[in-house]
């Protein structure tokens, strides 16, 4: 061993150091997803929501092709055999969720979009009970009720009675619709085909790109609008497109998958609850939005509900793991 080679072997690679830090990776994942919310607001006036969604998935596919195709080739038979699951994941969880969220940014604040997404884990809990008969404790139900009220408090801008008259901001309504899409996607993951996670991401993104093209044809200016975007989109708009194609689409998935590998899905799933908090913080810092009293009131209910729900879930898990006497 030469003196020249010794320091190189002893030097810690920065990527390897980060790659072994579960909590850091599980923080970077919701941070990237929160950035997607901010990007949707910054895109207003620069990139049409339907165009943004289409460009995101087309660009993401091109990037994923560099390192996902070897896994796709190995998993191709299973992908073809279970194509309908990937179609559902791509159409609902990827394209529909993000298209609705990008559209919502035209009508409501990024803070509202962030906080309303706290409904997703709660809706998934309800879906598990209704579809898969997963029983819930009283504490669990109380947590769900608190979180739902907090989300409704945000959606109605502090006046939940507006629900009775269907007087809800269209943007807030679109976010709730997006949450429902993601709930169905989350429940359907129970039937996820046994393929590598990169194969899963690539196949689902392919169907997301197809769905986004259908949406822009039916509800937008058509596929030619994508070509026009190459000329009309300013440099700042392209930075937004690059961000949403890389960070929430690929980096967040990479970080979360590695975090799950390091500490397990049950502990890792808690970090998803950081999304509403980080989204609200970034909305204030980067978009310059303000917080109203109803945001703070809603936050108390949302955080309290999530804490109760998670505590109930952990307590039940611990009881199920307790060895028989």
Concatenating the DSSP letter of every residue in 195-243 gives --HHHHHHHHHHHHHHHHHHHHHHHSS-THHHHHHHHH--HHHHHHHHH
Residue 195 lies in a domain: yes
Q: What is the pLDDT of residue 169?
A: 86
Q: What is the pLDDT of residue 282?
A: 92
Length of the chain in residues, anyone? 325
Question: Residue 248 falls within a domain, yes or no?
Answer: yes
Q: What pLDDT is stored for residue 49 in this prediction? A: 96
In this prediction, residue 318 carries a pLDDT of: 63
The predicted pLDDT at position 165 comes to 65
Give the DSSP H or E segment for 66.
helix 49-81
Sign (positive/negative) of CA torsion 77, 84, 101, 229? Answer: positive
Q: Per the domain annotation, does 276 fall within a domain?
A: yes
The residue among 92, 105, 89, 97 whose CA lies nearest residue 49 is 105
Tell me what pLDDT residue 321 has.
Answer: 44
pLDDT at 5: 47
**Residue 36 resides in a domain:** yes
Residue 22 counted as domain residue: no
- Which carries the bigger pLDDT value, residue 136 or residue 185? 185
Q: How many CA atoms lie within 13 A of 69 on its CB side?
A: 5
Higher pLDDT, 2 or 86: 86
pLDDT at position 16 is 77
Does 286 fall in a domain? Answer: yes
pLDDT at 3 (0 to 100)? 45
Total-model pTM: 0.85
Q: Is residue 13 part of a domain?
A: no
> DSSP label at 47?
S
What is the residue-averaged pLDDT of the chain?
87
> Does position 322 have pLDDT exceeding 60, yes or no?
no
Percent of the chain with pLDDT over 90: 54
pLDDT higher than 80, residue 264: no
Residues 108 and 37: their CA atoms lie apart, in Å, by 12
Question: What is the average per-residue pLDDT within 54-68?
Answer: 95
Q: In the chain, how many domains are there?
A: 1
Average pLDDT, integer, range 156-164: 79
pLDDT at 53 over 70: yes
* pLDDT at residue number 140: 75
pLDDT at residue 1, as a whole number: 43
Q: What is the pLDDT of residue 12?
A: 55
* Boundaries of domain holding 277: 30-317
Concatenate the DSSP letters of all residues of 261-324 into one string.
HHH-HHHHHGGGGHHHHHHHHHIIIII-----HHHHHHHHHHHHHHHHHHHHHHHHHHHHHSPP
Predicted pLDDT at 257: 86
Chain segment 270-315, per-residue pLDDT in tens: 778 788 888 998 999 999 998 888 888 888 888 888 778 767 766 6
**Section 17-35 average pLDDT:** 90
Q: Is residue 15 part of a domain?
A: no
In this predicted structure, which of 126-130, 194-198, 261-265, 281-285 has the lowest mean pLDDT? 261-265
């Amino acid at each position: 061993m030469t003196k020249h080679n010794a320091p190189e072997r002893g030097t810690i690679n920065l990527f390897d150091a980060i790659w072994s830090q579960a909590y850091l990776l599980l923080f970077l994942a919701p941070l990237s997803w929160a950035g997607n919310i901010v990007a949707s607001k910054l895109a207003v006036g620069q990139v049409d929501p339907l165009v943004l969604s289409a460009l995101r998935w087309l660009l993401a596919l091109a990037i994923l092709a560099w390192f996902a195709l070897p896994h796709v080739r190995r998993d191709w038979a299973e992908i073809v055999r279970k194509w309908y699951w990937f179609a559902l994941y791509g159409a609902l969880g990827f394209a529909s969720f993000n298209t609705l969220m990008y559209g919502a940014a035209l009508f409501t604040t990024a803070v509202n979009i962030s906080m309303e997404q706290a409904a997703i884990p709660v809706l998934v809990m309800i879906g598990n009970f209704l579809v898969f008969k997963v029983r819930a404790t009283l504490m669990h139900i109380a947590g769900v009720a608190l979180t739902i009220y907090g989300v409704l408090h945000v959606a109605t801008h502090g006046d939940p009675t507006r629900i009775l008259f269907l007087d809800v901001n269209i943007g807030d309504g679109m976010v709730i619709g997006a949450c429902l899409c993601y709930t169905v996607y989350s429940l359907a993951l129970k039937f996820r085909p046994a393929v590598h996670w990169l194969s899963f991401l690539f196949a689902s993104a392919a169907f997301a790109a197809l769905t986004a093209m259908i949406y822009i044809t039916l509800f937008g200016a058509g596929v030619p609008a994508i070509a026009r975007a190459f000329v009309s989109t300013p440099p700042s708009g392209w930075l937004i497109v690059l961000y949403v194609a890389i960070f929430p689409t690929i980096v967040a998935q990479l970080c979360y998958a590695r975090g799950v590998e390091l500490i397990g899905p049950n502990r890792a799933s808690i970090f998803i609850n950081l999304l509403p908090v980080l989204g609200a913080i970034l909305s204030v810092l980067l978009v310059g939005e303000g917080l109203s009293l109803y945001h703070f009131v809603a936050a108390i209910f949302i955080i309290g509900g999530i804490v109760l729900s998670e505590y109930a879930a952990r307590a039940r898990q611990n009881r199920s793991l307790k060895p028989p006497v």
